[in-house]
Amino acid sequence: MVNLIELNEENWPDFAGLSVDESQKTFLASNIGIIARGYVYRNFRAKVIGIVSDGVPVGLAMVRDIDDEPACYELQQFMIDKNFQGQGYGFRALELILAALKAEQKYACVEVCVKREDAQAIHVYEKAGFVDSGYIDDTVPDCLNFVYRLVADNKTDASDIRIVSVEEATEKQRISRSILEALPEWFGIPESREQYIKESAAQPFFAALDAEKAIGFLCLKETGKETVELSVMGVLKDYHRRGVGRKLFEQAKKVAEKLGYLFMQVKTVQMGRYAEYDVTNRFYLSLGFKEFELFPTLWDERNPCQIYVMSL
């Protein structure tokens, strides 16, 4: 029978000696590393969990809290010793971990970052109910972000979101207003927000729909014969990190390519100024944009303008 136990000063060496196959060692930290991370992340309620079968140590996991929005549990490490793989221990242990987190009910979901090449792990996570969110962290571009919903929140994943082109000017402005006014952290200056809304009426406009509700949008603007700008984009916060922004961008990029544009650019506040805009910078980098030029006073000294570009 598979059970979960807490590590202590007596049993930790039994788990420290466990190891995955040589071909899997690039996918996760060593067990000593996992135990060390439990200490390093102690202020984030990190828990190092021993996995046993009939009292015999077979695996190790680590879970911690992430309080930054969207707040969640993070299953940062999860391993089964090479001698016990393929016997169902991993799936059963994952079920027990998820059940314990669901009973605690601090957060509504669990996230895990998985290397793209780790097909065996991806299979186990998907079997347990994890879903690829579509979010890519530019600091680990070779990893996929999987999410498990502990609480039914009636929110759809990106696979259920429709991207449509909007042609009617007043509808463009209605959608852009409803989204931008809900995002004061990024669009809190009324004059700038109203300018985005006004200009959206004449721009190529893509909306993300959950059923018939607009939950995000993206506009393009021609800046040269061969260059188009991602002029404004917004997704409601409840749908962040669900792959909606990426889906909007992919559709807009396809249209830009069909229209014959060779380059796309986007402007945002320089990385390192505000936490909200750091998220935006990382998102653009994950899409494939590259730093082009920084204009320190284009907007004002407090908001240096970073321009990113990509080849289409």
Domains and CATH numbers, the chain: 2-149 (3.40.630.30), 158-311 (3.40.630.30)
Pick from 106-110, 141-145, 193-197, 238-242 the range whose average pLDDT is largest: 193-197
The label of the residue with tokens 């987190």 reads: 101
Residue 291's DSSP bridge partners are 308
Overall average pLDDT of the 33-49 stretch: 89
Instruction: Give the pLDDT band of residue 94 (cuts 50, 70, 90).
Output: very high
Instruction: Give the pLDDT band of residue 286 (cuts 50, 70, 90).
Output: confident
Cis peptide bond upstream of 70, omega within 30: yes
243 has a pLDDT exceeding 90: no
Overall average pLDDT of the 85-89 stretch: 90
Token digits of residue 30: 């060593």
Give the three-state DSSP class for 307.
strand
Instruction: Give the pLDDT band of residue 68 (cuts 50, 70, 90).
Output: confident
Rounded to whole angstroms, the maximal C-alpha distance in the chain is: 70
- Mean pLDDT, the chain, rounded, equals 89
169 has a pLDDT exceeding 90: yes
| Bigger pLDDT: 283 vs 73 | 73
156 has a pLDDT exceeding 60: no
The length of the chain is 312
Q: Give the integer Cα–Cα distance in Å for 46 and 100.
A: 14
Which one, of 237, 236, 199, 241, lies nearest residue 219 by Cα?
A: 199
Token digits of residue 214: 């607009």
Q: Give the integer Cα–Cα distance in Å for 234 and 219.
A: 10
Q: Give the integer Cα–Cα distance in Å for 85 and 125.
A: 15
222 has a pLDDT exceeding 80: yes
Overall average pLDDT of the 244-253 stretch: 92
Q: Give the integer Cα–Cα distance in Å for 128 and 175.
A: 37
Q: Is residue 256 within 8 Å of 223, Cβ to Cβ?
A: no
| Bigger pLDDT: 78 vs 140 | 78
Which one, of 26, 13, 249, lies nearest residue 118 by Cα?
A: 26
Overall average pLDDT of the 218-237 stretch: 94
Residue 10 CA from chain centroid, whole number: 38
